[in-house]
Structure 1
Amino acid sequence: MRIGISCYPTIGGSGAVATELGKALARRGHQVHFIVTDVPFRLGEFHQNIYLHEADTMTYPVLRTPPHDFTLAALMADVILQYNLEILHVHYALPFAVSAFLAREMLPGHPVRVVTTLHGTDVTVLAQDKSLYRVIQLGLTKSDVVTAVSHSLARQTHELFHIDTPIQCVHNFIDPNVFHPAATDLRECFARPGERILLHISNFRKVKRVLDLIQVFHLVNQRIPSRLLLVGEGPELSAARELVSGLGLEGRVHFLGKQDEVAELYRASDLFLLVSEKESFGLVALEAMASGLPVVGTTAGGIPEVVADGETGLLAPVGDISRLAELAMRLLTDEALHRRMGEAGRARAIQRFCLEDKVAEYERLYEQALCQGKAT
């Protein structure tokens, strides 16, 4: 198949999933065209069967802001026509599904089919803006196939937009050959012998509740000598630094900034923390599980679909800092429980969220979309 993929190029679950999906499709012999505003952060070096098309947005004094979405739509139309794409798989309703709709309107009669994957923010955050509600709704209803990365997100989308469009759940995935347990010397860079390492990776938005996480770590560290690794950047970074300073944790918390390659950090850690108030899936929790790392998290959104509470990690209600700290200390002090949950997490990641299985699911959806197009 000839497949176009559009996604955000920045660090985040949606960009990582879209990029890894494209690479896997290319390895399976499909021709894959990334139609983006910048090179996706996990694409990097040359890959056979992958083509990169970057939108070059013009500026004009009359326009208050550059017309990024229109430029993207025009590029989509050009690539669809030039390479006779069969599938255009867009990740996020806004702007990508809407831009795909505009691109197809530019090419009346072209049989390209649009598959939209929802990753969360376009539903859980952007849809709260009344000025964007109908635009997002348009992108969803004009797509040929809509998927969501969790059952929770699919239900929430139907409830918010009151649409008849079926939304199929295709969970996110990991490559177990990339994320796996292994010994590493990296621990020595952060912790002394006997100290435990807790890890968190996110974009530091308010919904990630990084300040809660630091409070959890503070309680844990009072009982168990520990270090906290914080990976990523975002709006809450300054507040997080201030709280760390206020609690006297400067020597215990390491701000590592944005990191493209994080597999080694999972291997160096003892526990992964994800205390979000909204989480459509929780890809970082899955990566931790695949690395043999137990997870302590909240029951928000799709997290319980990833982390089997009591089997691969321990979950608590959003905002329950003392309970989250208690669960973390339980895992850090019970070696048998820690080992059992780490092994169960690795097994669950391979059995239910393996890359090749999910790529095959998407291939079936592409075929379904093409068959629907021929039938009409």
Structure 2
Amino acid sequence: VGKDASLEPVVTFSINQSDGITAVSNDLKKDTYNHFKVSKEIQVIPNFIDLDRFKKQKKDHFKKAICPNDEKLIVHTSNFRKVKRVEDVVKVFNEIRKTVPAKLLLVGDGPERSAIEKLAEQSCSIDDVRFLGKLEAVEEVLSVSDLFLMTSEKESFGLAALEAMACEVPLISTNAGGLPELNQDEVTGFICDVGDIKTMADKALLILDKDNLPKFKKAALKRAQEFELSNILPMYENMYRKVVEEFREKISVKR
């Protein structure tokens, strides 16, 4: 929002008048300092995940209905904006299915959806790609997925990717924004350059290999557990305490 020149003064003023400022990634912190004349300290506190909700569920019947011949199931969730580069998801999927039988689920809605539907119709079998729209229980889809694709050109953190990891789904992500701070290259998945379709597809095939997939799934869950609510909430509580204590000191001095 602040990159809109007309809003920049308001955002800058608001940040500098705040008593405490947090960012969900080091990249967002750096981006904020680069775009605004911020004089205040920014503390990085990452997003959190509710592991009671986002966890692998037994939905074998759902997987069988989508992949009746044991195809690999690939998923992407987003708001279908240009910055998400959902067209790259379709292109990577097309490369993957040249080698491995696979299905693609696209979850969400947004301004680019119609264009992506047209691309899918032109390049894929209608049976291989499904648009599910907005879902409340996205964790049910993630529970039966084998791979999550996040091809964004900008992500402050990548919460959708964290939700996938919590459901034991490894990632192929770009190196944009805060994603490298979440996705551990060669551990929870792979990190690739924005727009590098071939590398994304090649790395996806490595993950989907039957000998590799279990270890990537296990690592994805282990990483997600680091962002469990009980680990992150104390960071916010400590931040609030610090802000309150500093405020009390100011009041005391004035008195």
Residue equivalent to 1:175 = 50
- Tell whether 2:72 aligns with 1:190: no
SS in 1 for 2:120: helix
Residue 374 of structure 1 is matched in structure 2 by: 248
1:273 equivalenced with 2:161 (yes/no): no
Trace 1:39-54 onto structure 2 (pairs within 5 A).
none
Gap runs ≥5 in structure 2? 251-255
The alignment covers a number of residue pairs equal to 249
Deviation at 1:248, TM superposition (A): 3.4
Per the alignment, residue 148 of structure 1 pairs with 23
Which consecutive aligned stretches of 4+ in structure 1 deviate over 6 angstroms post-superposition? none
In the TM superposition, residue 128 of structure 1 has moved relative to its aligned partner by: 2.6
- Select 2:7's aligned residue among 132, 135, 150: 132
Indicate if the aligned counterparts of 2:19 and 2:243 stay in contact, CA closer than 8 A: yes
Q: CA RMSD in A?
A: 1.2
Does the alignment pair 1:360 with 2:196? no
User: Could you say which structure has the greater relative contact order, defined with CA pairs below 8 angstroms and 6 or more residues apart?
Assistant: 2
Q: Which moved more, 1:276-285 or 1:242-251?
A: 242-251
The one-letter amino acid of 2:110's match is G
Give the partner amino acid of 2:70: G
Q: SS state of the match for residue 343, structure 1?
A: helix
Specify the alignment match of 1:254 in structure 2.
130
| Pick aligned residue for 2:191 from 281, 303, 315 | 315
- Secondary structure at the counterpart of residue 360 of structure 1: helix
Rounded Cα–Cα distance in structure 2 between residues aligned with 1:217 and 1:372: 52
- What displacement does 1:193 show? 2.5
Pairing 1:165–2:165 present: no
Correspondence 1:336 to 2:207: no
- Residue 346 of structure 1 is matched in structure 2 by 221
What is the aligned counterpart of 1:213 among 71, 89, 94? 89
Measured in 1, the distance between the counterparts of 2:211 and 2:101 equals: 19
- Displacement of 1:336 in angstroms is 2.7
Identity of aligned residues (%): 39
8 Å Cα contact 2:12/2:37 also seen in 1: no
1:289 matched to 2:176? no
- Give, as a single letter, the amino acid of the residue that structure 2 aligns with 1:363: E
Gaps of 5+ in 1: 1-125
2-side partners of 1:282 and 1:306: how far apart?
8
CA distance in 2, matches of 1:348, 1:331: 16
Secondary structure, aligned partner of 1:233: coil
Letter in 2 for 1:135: V
1:268 aligned counterpart, secondary structure: coil
TM-score (structure 2 length as normaliser)? 0.94
* Aligned position for 2:253: none
